Amino acid sequence: MRVLIDFTQIPKQKVGVGIYARNLLKGLQQADKNNNYYCLIQDDDNELIGLVQSNNFYVIRINHVIYRKFLLRIIFEQIGIPILCLLKKIHLVHSLHYSYPLVPLRAQKVITIHDLIFVKFPHYHIWIKRLYFRFFLFLLSRLTHQIICVSSFTRNDFIDFYSIKDYKQDRLNVVLLAVEKPVVPPHDWEVISKKMNLHEPYLLYIGTIEPRKNIQRLIEAFRTVINAGMKYQLVIVGKKGWMYSTVFKRIKELNLKDNVNFCGYLSDDEKYILLSRAAIFVYPSLYEGFGLPVLEAIQMKVPVITSNTSSLQEVAGNAALLINPVNTDDLSEAILRLLSDSLLKSKLLANCDEQAKRFSITTMAIETIKIYERCGR
């Protein structure tokens, strides 16, 4: 079977969809030596191109300029990819993001759905983007042969919103995401802490700075921790996203500028170093399709507090302390409890290994291949 995988809309930064795409590529190369894979990758993404190493995997470089212009991207997506499918005699096309050729193809169609954030939080997206995603996914829900959902929660969300009838639900598959077990590199903590202005002990958050991540409530809960006499720093790692300025404004209002440290986007090595030394990893997001940072923290046996909503319960299992993300008191009480209750901390950490075993790159790849083969029958 000839499989074309569209990596062109994968972010170069190793977050969310970018992590999924890289790990899927690694896993497929380990698990499948029989089928031929054609990987569409932007020609300036050298890191992703470098991951293609198996003899049955081929890179098709696409001019990155196409993806800087919306109209060019749509033209290539709807005309260029179908032409490539004909030229390469492709049997199956897998899109890893919210894009797909809608024109009829001889090739089977598979798409990965990560979340329905644009539906659940429409006010965080411009109207044209909301309209595009709603219409596009509606069509895909009818036209795609198989759909991969990254969690059971996302699958149920998709079924509910698009009113997928029972007899069509077998097209919706759950393939849990996975990450490689983080490895903490050799490092000089004194140099790193001085460079980033870090002070132990600290609480850690990793993720984009945007309203959906609920950082404002985290900051308000952290103020309660400070007021209780706890001498902790709150370290926030991640790039600035939609409406990030409200977070900085809240810090100023609460007079916490000296207690909250923004480190920006960090490399994997830097991120893992900070995770390994964190007193608690706090991830109170309002909505996630999966929640990779929580899985990374569990793999590293760091105490975790996260939300009891969306897919986060699925990822955290019994290896994290779950809270109501819209209740600031619940969050602050959980932080104070985990900082003071060594038995609770030990219990959560003892569950980490078993929970982490549920998420394997090899399993993710094998389950994906099974879906490909189902299409090929």
Number of H helices, E strands in the chain: 17, 13
- Straight-line distance from the first to the last Cα atom of the chain, in angstroms, rounded to the nearest whole number: 11
Cα dihedral 207, 208, 213, 215 sign? positive
Beta carbons of 207 and 283 less than 8 angstroms apart: yes
**From CA 324, how far away is CA 116, in angstroms rounded?**
20
What architecture does CATH give domain 2-178+360-376?
Answer: 3-Layer(aba) Sandwich (3.40)
> Are residues 29 and 21 in contact, defined by beta-carbon separation less than 8 angstroms?
no
Q: What residue segments make up the domains of the chain, in order of their start?
A: 2-178+360-376, 189-356
Measured distance CA(38)–CA(141) in Å, rounded: 24
As beta bridge partners, residue 322 has 306
> What sign for the dihedral angle of Cα 132, 138, 142, 145?
positive
Q: Are 249 and 23 in contact (CB under 8 A)?
A: no
Equal fold, 2-178+360-376 vs 189-356? yes
pLDDT in tens, the chain (377 residues): 999 999 998 887 777 889 999 999 999 999 999 999 999 999 999 999 999 999 999 999 999 999 888 889 889 989 999 999 999 999 999 999 877 888 778 899 999 999 988 888 777 777 777 787 778 888 877 888 999 999 999 999 988 888 777 657 888 999 999 998 888 988 889 888 898 999 999 999 999 999 999 999 999 999 999 999 999 999 999 998 878 899 999 999 999 999 999 999 998 899 999 999 999 999 999 999 999 999 999 999 999 999 999 999 999 999 999 999 999 999 999 999 999 999 999 999 999 999 999 999 999 999 999 999 998 65
Of the candidate CATH numbers 2.160.20.10, 3.40.50.2000, 1.20.1250.20, 3.90.1010.10, the domain formed by 189-356 belongs to 3.40.50.2000
Per the DSSP assignment, residues forming a β-bridge with 237 are 206, 264
Q: Is-contact 335 282, C-beta < 8 A?
A: yes
Burial environment of residue 6 by CB neighbours within 10 A (0 to 12, 13 to 18, 19 or more): buried
